[in-house]
Homo-oligomer: A and B are copies of this chain.
Amino acid sequence: MNGNPQLNRNGELQHLLTLEGLPRANIEHILDTAESFVSIAEREVKKVPLLRGKSIFNLFFENSTRTRTTFEIAAKRLSADVINLNIGASSTSKGETVLDTIDNLSAMLADMFVVRHAQSGAAHMIAAHLNATARPYIHVINAGDGRHAHPTQGLLDLFTIRHYKKEFSQLTVAIVGDVLHSRVARSLIHGLTTLGTPEVRVVGPNTLIPAAAANLGVRVFNDMQEGVRNCDVVVMLRLQNERMRGALLPSAGEFFKHYGLTEEKLALAKSDAIVMHPGPMNRGVEIDSPVADGKHSVILPQVTFGIAVRMAVMGILAGS
């Protein structure tokens, strides 16, 4: 193993933990592979035997039916056996450590773990443990860890942008809303930077912008109008309900007035701009329904591409 725990010594993807530091070649390989899985939609039988006989464990220490479903579908379309474990209800509640759980499931001949955890670094810790114990044939996919990373979401966002805009080298991308708490934003920013996007903007009130935003190589806008002006891509982030109830924001209505994406604000972006959202949407909070359902919206194609991207990641890992 080298310094990057997600690559093996040949530079191949061993785990998918974060887009931070993931080389451009690996990202592009995933996106290219995903292309080949998009066409599966048109087939009569939406299934390939690539992972037949493999055992994939969805380890959700934090509940997320939506994300779990996308991985479950992706794995089943690759013909894998999928086992869903809601770990809250399981051995950890009996005092077993997370690594003991991993060792046990590995002893059951697991091939892949899809890990969702409320704590940043959980998937890294599991991957490092597997690497340290010489089990390179078991793979970890980070399905979201705390505020840290959500790399498959970042990859599907990149896939979507590439699909509609072809090249990253001329793009202006605005990421709007609760950037501070968003692993989606963090993963996307790393990916966009690696792929050579010249201008990435984060837009929101200072209370929702990370203090270290400048270090990420992005431009910060507090004014939404300025932030979306002349953009090619507008990515709206989900506003967690708990933020609205907390001290960070005056109210959902106030947020919508300043940062909700309306047709009026969208008109400031380029005429062929695309609008993205990781879902689930709060209509009338961060996005207005006519925009969510309008002709600039590529929110549902994101979901479709998300399955193809997850199939690609699983396929690449299983082949490494």
Q: Which residue of B lies closest to A63 (CB)?
A: B89
Range of interface residues on A (Cβ < 8 Å): 35 or more
In the docked arrangement, what's the CA distance between A66 and B54, Å?
19
Residues of B contacting A105 in the complex (Cβ-Cβ under 8 angstroms): 69
Asked whether A280 lies within 8 Å of B47 as measured between CB atoms, the reply is: no
In the docked arrangement, what's the CA distance between A5 and B88, Å?
37
In the docked arrangement, what's the CA distance between A103 and B298, Å?
12
In the docked arrangement, what's the CA distance between A91 and B87, Å?
19
Q: Which residue of B lies closest to A285 (CB)?
A: B95
Q: Is A216 engaged at the interface, CB distance under 8 Å to the other chain? A: no
Report how many copies the assembly holds.
3
Of residues 20 through 43 on chain A, the ones whose CB sits less than 8 Å from some CB of chain B are 41, 43
Of residues 209 through 267 on chain A, the ones whose CB sits less than 8 Å from some CB of chain B are 241
Q: Is A107 engaged at the interface, CB distance under 8 Å to the other chain? A: yes
Q: Is A10 engaged at the interface, CB distance under 8 Å to the other chain? A: no
Question: Which of A168-176, A187-195, A299-307 lies at the interface?
Answer: A299-307
In the docked arrangement, what's the CA distance between A16 and B300, Å?
26
Asked whether B303 lies within 8 Å of A107 as measured between CB atoms, the reply is: yes
Asked whether B65 lies within 8 Å of A90 as measured between CB atoms, the reply is: yes
Can you list, as one digit per residue, whether each of A44-64 has a CB less than 8 Å from chain B (1) or not (0)?
111100001111000000010
Q: Is A81 engaged at the interface, CB distance under 8 Å to the other chain? A: yes
Asked whether A304 lies within 8 Å of B107 as measured between CB atoms, the reply is: yes
Question: Which of A70-78, A118-126, A144-152, A200-208 lies at the interface?
Answer: A70-78
Q: Is A165 engaged at the interface, CB distance under 8 Å to the other chain? A: no
Q: Is A197 engaged at the interface, CB distance under 8 Å to the other chain? A: no
Which of B108, B241, B283 lies in contact with A69, CB distance below 8 A? B108
Asked whether A65 lies within 8 Å of B85 as measured between CB atoms, the reply is: yes
Q: Is A279 engaged at the interface, CB distance under 8 Å to the other chain? A: yes
Residues of B contacting A72 in the complex (Cβ-Cβ under 8 angstroms): 83
Residues of B contacting A97 in the complex (Cβ-Cβ under 8 angstroms): 283
Which of B81, B94, B301, B302 lies in contact with A280, CB distance below 8 A? B94
> A37: shortest Cβ distance to chain B, in Å?
11
Q: Which residue of B lies closest to A300 (CB)?
A: B107
Asked whether B81 lies within 8 Å of A76 as measured between CB atoms, the reply is: yes
In the docked arrangement, what's the CA distance between A282 and B100, Å?
10
In the docked arrangement, what's the CA distance between A171 and B224, Å?
71
Q: Which residue of B lies closest to A45 (CB)?
A: B53
Chain A residues engaging chain B, CB cutoff 8 angstroms: 41, 43-47, 52-55, 63, 65-66, 69-70, 72-73, 76-77, 81, 83, 85-87, 89-91, 94-97, 100-101, 103-109, 241, 279-283, 300-304, 306-307
Question: Can you offer 27 A-B residue contacts whose CB atoms are under 8 A?
Answer: A45-B52, A46-B53, A47-B52, A47-B53, A55-B73, A55-B76, A63-B89, A69-B83, A69-B105, A70-B108, A73-B81, A73-B108, A73-B109, A76-B83, A96-B279, A97-B283, A100-B279, A100-B280, A100-B283, A101-B280, A103-B300, A104-B279, A104-B300, A104-B303, A108-B304, A109-B304, A109-B307
